Amino acid sequence: MDHFLYRRNRLHAEDVPLEIIAERVKTPLYVYATATIERHYQVFAEAFADLPATICYAVKANSNIAVIRTLARMGAGADVVSGGELRAALAAGVPGERIVYSGVGKTADEMAAALRAGVMQINVESEPELEALDAVARSTGHRARVAIRINPDVDANTHAKISTGRSENKFGIEWTGAHRVYARAAAMPGIAVIGAAVHIGSQLTDLAPYRTAFQRLRDLVAMLRADGHRIDVLDLGGGLGIPYGSENAPVPTPAAYAEVVRSAIGDLDCRFVLEPGRMLVGNAGVLLTRVLYVKEGATRTFVVVDAAMNDLVRPAMYGAYHAIVPVAEPPAGTLVREVDVVGPVCETSDTFATDRPLPPVVAGDLLALRGAGAYGAVMASTYNVRPLVPEVLVSGDRFAVIRPRLSVEDILGRERIPGWMRDDERALAPAGGEP
């Protein structure tokens, strides 16, 4: 369910016509619906209401502090994977004791910052990281609360670039080596092991891999407890998929996912940490873009828009599908034709859709790329010296810019010409002008 609906033949975000936002903020831009974020969190929380679970929003999905704050106000914690995300979560009002610090390559400075913030736990992904964290904790006078991330060697049946639970992936410690690593951690004065963590991938549309991973985790907990280790927390990661509009089968509901957790490991007397990201914010956002040209090629028709792969990289990076709809609803019975929707970046991969059925459009028309609330703005770049697009949050009949557009002047103003090139400046200046 989302809150982007046609009213009086115009697409709205909650009670605000998208045309009005596009006119005032200019395209391309992201628009998020508060009601959708809140609704998705509520549904997820209700699914786990009878379990001792802490929901920590995976900030990497969308790190805008207004989005994080929307969830924090409902009780969500945060799952962060960098020092920047930690600062964003804290700035958004998430208390340290509700933050999980994950990630495979934490630096000593990031570890120290996490300890100073009093995070709930740090998920350790390797033995060298464990050693480094022990040293940092001792040097700063802390004892780090740790969950060791286990790689269960489970294929999540998702895109290869977002699968994280197979033995060939860089994440976690092989589950067969857990005995040795937990024993080593128990002997470190700066480490307090409180549990285990697992995360097998993103955009999962089948619950079977979860069942397999959780059963392996259950067996591991029994073995670790037999070795004398306290396992009080099980961090189950996230990864629950959302419908982008191209799947043949519906994605699992949070209630169905919760039932897998309940039946597989619900009786282990552990507190659960859950880290949904895409599921909470993915369908809460659209990328608004305006048609620049309709180009009739020899064999294809190209709809050239002002958004590009630097604004939304998922189609170029993953071959991802995003539903594309006109902001002005076409009359019933309007014929469609297959077109390619492309951006202005000088890459063939700057293509949002190929052979996509769309009603006729002309220059100036607005299109909305749906399901863009996760891994959209957060993965954007300034490729081709294109400014980062703004983000807008809607609540009822109100909207606010929550990240202004980054201008070309902003980009160039952060760059510097080295001293040895300054002798060239006068020679390169126009005749009679200042260098």
Kindly give the interhelix angle for 254-265 and 34-47, rounded to the nearest 10 degrees.
30
Q: What is the pLDDT along the chain (435 residues), one digit of tens a residue?
A: 689 999 999 999 999 999 999 999 999 999 999 999 999 999 999 999 999 999 999 999 999 999 999 999 999 999 999 999 999 999 999 999 999 999 999 999 999 999 999 999 999 999 999 999 999 999 999 999 999 999 887 644 444 434 343 444 445 688 778 888 999 999 999 999 999 999 888 788 889 989 998 998 999 999 999 999 999 999 999 999 998 875 555 789 999 999 999 999 999 999 999 999 999 999 999 999 999 999 998 899 999 999 999 999 999 998 999 999 999 999 999 999 999 999 999 999 999 999 999 999 999 999 999 999 999 999 999 999 999 999 999 999 999 999 999 999 999 999 998 888 877 665 566 655 444
CB atoms within 10 A of CB 253: 14
In contact, 132 and 112? CB cutoff 8 Å: no
In contact, 10 and 371? CB cutoff 8 Å: no
Domain ranges within the chain, ordered by starting residue: 4-13+21-27+283-413, 34-279
Please give the DSSP secondary-structure letter assigned to residue 381.
-
**Helix (H) or strand (E) segment spanning residue 359:** none
Bridge partners of 14, per DSSP, are none
Q: Is 270 a catalytic residue?
A: no
Q: Alpha-carbon distance 332 to 103, whole Å?
A: 49
* Residues belonging to the chain: 435
Burial 407-429 (b: 16+ CB within 10 A, else e): eeeeeeeeeeeeeeeeeeeeeee
Q: Which CATH number fits domain 34-279: 3.20.20.10, 3.30.70.20, 3.40.50.720, 3.90.1640.10?
A: 3.20.20.10
In contact, 349 and 316? CB cutoff 8 Å: yes
**Helix (H) or strand (E) segment spanning residue 21:** helix 18-25
Q: Which of 249, 335, 346, 417 is catalytic?
A: 346
Q: Which CATH number fits domain 4-13+21-27+283-413: 2.40.37.10, 3.20.20.210, 3.40.50.2000, 3.40.50.10860?
A: 2.40.37.10
